[in-house]
């Protein structure tokens, strides 16, 4: 199969769909990999390394999209990329369609087969292709929050760890999944006072056991959220209902109860955000202030540590890329229900129930859509 890897074009997005070592594995399976010139150059993956791994280098995105049967990317396709897709072509990348009707309409129109990393599942109920970027973003959320808390950045001038005789900052994490756990661990490592809220009691039990009580856990009710954020220095938004738009947990009126200069880091922004006042920002302009509260809402946080993130992402996606390429997309999707959960759009039809519901579009069962797409 011919597999294409275009250069990412989102603001300050330096990740790339495959590392050279990922390319080498696909080539060893008899596939042809077409990489856009300079796709990985910014993070130290040169065209020479891709050539050595067995790829062909193509000059521009147009030629990669025109030839590839399977396109492997990182971020959701931008409108110019959606317009390069063709019927039956397979797109394997993050999509985050629930809050993005414009992208959904373009993907439906393209007739392509769009498989979203973030809704592929595993046997243990996890999201194996979201997890590596959630690990990265969770850890980064504390770095970003610590920086935003500095006075010169608009923050309240609090050091997360405190110092002897001065208490540490209070960090509240909404959602104790992969992002939440990694944020909490990093904040705890710095000596902050950490509380995690989740609505899953089994998850809260796990966290309590894991950290031996060093991290406080709270059931995520409206009253507990209101009480927790009232004296928080840093709040991390890390909730997810797979495929759906993020639940809005903090309203604008609740910001008034928080200390001026407190910081909200909304990692869940790619699913629309869990604070009413969140709107997506970029690495170039990551923060803005509403009612005295600093908001950091970068929708592609791992792009900031693109080399680490690209390696982690390829490790996770490669087995699925190999299955799609070795078996053919239809057979691979038919054979593996977890990969099939990633199918969001199949030749003009919406095939993920939560995504279709969030967008108010008709839903078609994926097996039916696959059978009818022959
Ligand atoms: N901005 C960025 O660059 C990145 C964003 N993300 C996003 O971060 C979000 C979280 O991802 P993961 O941690 O991997 O998901 P996850 O599925 O591991 O964890 C989500 C947690 O939220 C909890 N939850 C759901 N509704 C809740 C509520 N009302 N109150 C409290 N907890 C609730 C769930 O029980 C679960 O434990 C996702 O939207 C993901 O797309 C992930 C990576 C990078
Ligand atoms: C998960 C996601 O949105 C990202 O890595 O950018
Ligand atoms: Mg994102």
Structural domain contains residue 160? yes
| ∠ Cα 20 25 31 (to 5°) | 100
Structural domain contains residue 220? yes
Dig out the tokens for 158 from the structure.
């609090």
pLDDT the model gives residue 40: 98
Find the residues whose C-beta lies inside 6 A of ligand 1: 118, 127, 130, 133-134, 137, 174-180, 197-200, 203, 220, 238-241, 246-247, 249, 267-271, 299-302
User: Are 141 and 289 part of one and the same domain?
Assistant: yes
Q: Distance from the CA of 21 to the center of ligand 2, in angstroms? A: 21
pLDDT the model gives residue 374: 79
User: Are 284 and 145 part of one and the same domain?
Assistant: yes
Task: Name the 3-class secondary structure at 198.
Answer: strand
Structural domain ending residue among the three candidates 248, 265, 299: 299
Structural domain contains residue 124? no
Q: Distance from the CA of 172 to the center of ligand 2, in angstroms? A: 22
Catalytic residue among 96, 100, 233, 266: 96
Structural domain contains residue 214? yes
User: Are 364 and 275 part of one and the same domain?
Assistant: no
pLDDT the model gives residue 60: 98
Structural domain ending residue among the three candidates 253, 268, 299: 299
User: Are 272 and 234 part of one and the same domain?
Assistant: yes
**Can you tell me the ipTM of this complex?**
0.97
pLDDT the model gives residue 324: 98
User: Are 150 and 198 part of one and the same domain?
Assistant: yes
270 is catalytic: yes
Residues in the chain: 374
Structural domain ending residue among the three candidates 280, 299, 318: 299
What number of other Cβ atoms are within 10 A of residue 111's Cβ?
17
Does 300 contact ligand 2 (Cβ within 6 A)?
yes
CATH number at residue 258: 3.40.50.720
User: Are 367 and 232 part of one and the same domain?
Assistant: no
pLDDT the model gives residue 213: 87
Structural domain contains residue 126? no
pLDDT the model gives residue 243: 87
pLDDT the model gives residue 160: 98
User: Are 230 and 293 part of one and the same domain?
Assistant: yes
Domain range spanning residue 76? 2-119+306-372
Protein residue closest via CA to atom 2 of ligand 2: 300
Q: Are 334 and 370 in contact (CB under 8 A)?
A: yes
Q: Are 35 and 2 in contact (CB under 8 A)?
A: no
Task: Name the 3-class secondary structure at 315.
Answer: helix
> What is the C-alpha separation between 361 and 351, in angstroms, rounded?
10
User: Are 19 and 107 part of one and the same domain?
Assistant: yes
Q: Are 76 and 93 in contact (CB under 8 A)?
A: yes
Q: Provide the annotated binding site.
A: 15, 75, 134, 198, 203, 220, 239-240, 267-270, 279, 298-301
Structural domain contains residue 250? yes
From the DSSP assignment, how many helices (H) and strands (E) are in the chain? Answer: 15, 15
338 is catalytic: no
Protein residue closest via CA to atom 8 of ligand 1: 268
> What is the C-alpha separation between 144 and 301, in angstroms, rounded?
9
Structural domain contains residue 125? no
| ∠ Cα 370 371 372 (to 5°) | 90
pLDDT the model gives residue 11: 85
Protein residue closest via CA to atom 5 of ligand 2: 133
**H helix intervals, the chain:** 20-28, 47-52, 61-67, 79-82, 101-110, 131-148, 178-189, 201-210, 222-230, 252-255, 306-327, 329-335, 337-340, 353-359, 366-372
pTM: 0.94
Q: What backbone torsions phi and psi does residue 188 show, to the nearest 5 degrees?
A: -65, -40
Pocket-testing residue among 240, 275, 286, ligand 1, by greatest number of atoms within 8 A of Cβ = 240
User: Are 317 and 333 part of one and the same domain?
Assistant: yes
User: Are 23 and 172 part of one and the same domain?
Assistant: no
Pocket-testing residue among 127, 172, 177, ligand 1, by greatest number of atoms within 8 A of Cβ = 177
Task: Name the 3-class secondary structure at 191.
Answer: coil
Structural domain contains residue 84? yes
Each of the 374 residues of the chain gets a pLDDT tens digit; together they read: 999 999 999 988 999 999 999 999 999 999 999 999 999 999 999 999 999 999 999 999 999 999 999 999 999 999 999 999 999 999 999 999 999 999 999 999 999 999 999 999 999 999 999 999 999 999 999 999 999 999 999 999 999 999 999 999 999 999 999 999 999 999 999 999 999 999 999 999 999 999 998 999 999 999 999 999 999 999 999 999 988 999 999 999 999 999 999 999 999 999 999 999 999 999 999 999 999 999 999 999 999 999 999 999 999 999 999 999 999 999 999 999 999 999 999 999 999 999 999 999 999 999 999 999 87
Q: Distance from the CA of 115 to the center of ligand 3, in angstroms? A: 15
Overall number of domains in the chain: 2
User: Are 290 and 327 part of one and the same domain?
Assistant: no
Residue 159 DSSP code: -
User: Are 286 and 156 part of one and the same domain?
Assistant: yes
């Amino acid at each position: 199969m011919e597999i294409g890897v275009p250069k990412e074009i989102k603001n300050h997005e330096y990740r790339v769909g495959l590392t050279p070592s990922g390319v080498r594995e696909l080539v060893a399976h008899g596939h042809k990999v077409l990489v856009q010139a300079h796709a990985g150059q910014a993070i130290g993956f040169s065209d020479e390394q891709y050539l050595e791994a067995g790829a062909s280098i193509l000059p521009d995105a147009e030629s990669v999209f025109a030839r590839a049967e399977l396109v492997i990317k990182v971020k959701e396709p931008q409108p110019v990329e959606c317009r390069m897709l063709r019927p039956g072509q397979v797109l394997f990348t993050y999509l985050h369609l629930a809050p993005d009707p414009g992208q959904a309409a373009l993907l439906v129109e393209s007739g392509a087969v769009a498989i979203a990393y973030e809704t592929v599942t595993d046997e243990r109920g996890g999201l194996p292709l979201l997890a590596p970027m959630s690990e990265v973003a969770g850890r980064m959320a504390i770095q970003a929050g610590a920086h935003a808390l500095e006075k010169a950045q608009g923050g309240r001038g609090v050091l997360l760890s405190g110092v002897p005789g001065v208490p540490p900052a209070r960090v509240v994490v909404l959602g104790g999944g992969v992002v939440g756990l990694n944020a909490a661990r990093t904040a705890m490592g710095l000596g902050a006072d950490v509380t995690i809220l989740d609505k899953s009691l089994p998850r809260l039990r796990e966290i309590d056991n894991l950290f031996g009580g060093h991290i406080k856990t709270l059931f995520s009710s409206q009253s507990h959220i209101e009480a927790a954020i009232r004296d928080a220095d840093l709040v991390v938004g890390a909730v997810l209902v797979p495929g759906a738009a993020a639940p809005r947990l903090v309203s604008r009126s609740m910001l008034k109860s928080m200390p001026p200069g407190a910081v909200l880091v909304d990692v869940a922004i790619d699913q629309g955000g869990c604070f009413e006042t969140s709107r997506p920002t970029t690495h170039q302009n990551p923060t803005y202030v509403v009612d005295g509260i600093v908001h950091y809402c970068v929708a592609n946080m791992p792009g900031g540590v693109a080399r680490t993130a690209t390696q982690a992402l390829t490790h996770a996606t490669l087995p699925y890329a190999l299955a799609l390429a070795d078996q053919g997309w239809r057979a691979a999707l038919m054979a593996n229900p977890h990969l099939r959960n990633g199918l969001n759009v199949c030749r003009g039809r919406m095939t993920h129930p939560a995504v279709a519901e969030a967008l108010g579009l008709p839903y078609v069962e994926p097996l039916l859509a696959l059978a009818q797409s022959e």
